[in-house]
């Protein structure tokens, strides 16, 4: 359960960094590769995936707390 929780957290952070509106590529991380075409549909899909990951992270956090104290 913790492994999934850590994985979701890392994926969420990565997606948020990729979706930064002022940066269309990962040149801050040392790569010059443009990984996403910044079309409106792509941005909406990425924002939906980020929101889904955030809710999954919160859900797993609540489950973790509930099982920790029971």
Q: pLDDT digit string (tens) for 7-61?
A: 999 999 998 888 776 655 555 554 434 555 567 788 888 899 999 999 999 999 9
Burial of 8 (0-12, 13-18, 19+ CB in 10 A): buried
Measured in residues, the chain has a length of 70
pLDDT score of 2: 80
Sequence ranges of the domains in the chain: 1-18+44-70
pLDDT score of 33: 41
pLDDT over 80 at 66, yes or no: yes
Contact status, residue 1 vs residue 63, Cβ threshold 8 Å = yes
pLDDT score of 58: 93
This prediction has a pTM of 0.69
């Amino acid at each position: 359960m913790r492994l999934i929780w850590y994985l979701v957290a890392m994926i969420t952070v990565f997606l948020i960094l990729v979706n930064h509106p002022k940066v269309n590529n990962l040149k801050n991380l040392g790569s010059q590769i443009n990984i996403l075409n910044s079309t409106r549909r792509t941005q909406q899909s990425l924002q939906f995936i980020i929101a889904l990951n955030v809710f999954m992270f919160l859900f797993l956090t609540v489950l973790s707390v509930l099982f920790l104290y029971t």
